[in-house]
A = this chain, B = another copy of it.
C-alpha cells in the first residue's frame, strides 16, 4: 500500500496512481485529523469523496504518529494526550475518539487504537503496554460496533464503496482451501480489490465526480482490524496474537516493528507471530519495507504491507531498479542516455533518460519528485505482481533472487 499521508501520495495525481495499478492506499488518521479535519472529510463523503479515489483505502489509528511525532505525549488508561506538531494545540486520542475519526474518514479498512511500544523496553513495560493495547482493542471494537453505521458512504455526493473486508476474508478463505500451501500467501490482497477497479471519469461541472462502479450491499460498513503488539518478546507476541484473535476481528496487523530493532529481529518476530494469526484472514505487517523485504514477508504469509520507503526515497533521489538502488543525484549519471531501469515498463523508464532525471533532481525541479515517485511505486507494485504471479503458479518466490535494492557493484 503506497502511503498517502494527507489524502495525497506526494506529487502523484490519482489518475496516475490508477494507471500504475494501485489497488489500495493508506491514509494517516493523525495527519488528516489535524488537516483538513474530520468534519471537512466527512462532509465530502469521507476520504473516497474528498480525494476522489474509488479504490480501497486503509487508515491507521493515529497511535503510531502520536508515538513518533510527539515527544510530549502522555499516556493513561483513557488514551493519549498530545500536542499538534503544527500549532502545539492539545488533543486526546482514545480508542473511542480514534474510531470516531476513522469512521468519519470512511476508509474501507480501519485500525484499532493501540500503543506502539518503544524500543528497547523492559519486559514489564512491554507487558503493560501490550495489556493496555488489548484493553483498547476491546474498547475500539465496542465503539466501532455501536457507531459503524455513521460511516459517511451514504452521502449523495459520494458513491458507496465496496466492503473490502468481506472480500478480503472470503478470498483468503478460498485461497486457504487450495491444496497448494503457497497459493494462500499474499493472495488475499490480490483478490481483495477485484470489483474495485472503478474509475472516476468525472464530468465537466460535476460537484464531486460521479462514481459509476458497483455499489456495496446496502448497509455495508468498514472493516476494523486488530493490532498485535508485544515488543521483541516472542512469548508476549504469542499472547498478544491469541488474545487479539479472541476479541475477534476480520483481519489482523502486526504492529510495533520497524521501530529501530535489527532486521533479523523483525523477521523473527513476524515469522513467529504469523502462526498465531488465522491464515484465512488478512494478515497485515505495518511499516515494512524494502523490495526484498516485502517479497520475503509475502513468502512467509503476510498479505498486506505499507511503507513510506518508495515515496520518501524517491523524494531523496533514491530509486529502486532491477539492477539495484540508484542515487540519481550522482554526477556519473549526468550524461547517461540510458533508461533509469531498462527492465521497467513504467512511463518514466520508457520515456526519460537518467541524464534528464539527474538534471531535474540537481536543479530542484518539482518534476523530479513526481517522476521518481512514479517509478519507485511502479517498481514496488511490479514486485508485488511478481509475488502474486509466483503464488498462483505455485512457484513460491524463487524469483526473489532477482529483487535487490543493493547498489550496483
Contacts and interface: CB of A to CB of B under 8 A. Distances in A.
Interface string A10-25: 1111110000000000
A337 interface: yes
B334 A44 contact: no
A373 to B, nearest CB: 9
Interface stretch (A129-137, A141-149, A206-214): A206-214
B207 A350 contact: no
Interface string A105-122: 000000000000000000
Contacts of A374: 13
Contacts of A338: 207
Interface stretch (A162-170, A361-369, A390-398): A361-369
Q: DSSP majority for the A interface?
A: loop
Contact of A201 (B157, B209, B350, B356): B350
Contacts of A8: 360, 365, 367
Contact of A353 (B207, B343, B362, B366): B207
A219 interface: no
Number of copies: 2
**By CB atoms of chain B within 10 A, which of A201, A203, A207, A369 has the most?**
A207
Nearest to A358: B36
Contact of A345 (B51, B204, B358, B366): B204
A209 B7 CA distance: 33
Nearest 3 Cβ contacts at the A-B interface: A202-B350, A205-B342, A11-B366
Interface of A: 6-15, 35-36, 39-40, 43-44, 50-52, 157, 200-209, 334-335, 337-339, 342-345, 347, 349-353, 355-356, 358-360, 362-363, 365-367, 369-371, 374
17 contacts: A6-B360, A6-B363, A8-B367, A9-B367, A11-B367, A36-B363, A39-B335, A40-B335, A40-B355, A50-B359, A51-B356, A52-B352, A204-B343, A205-B339, A205-B342, A366-B369, A370-B370
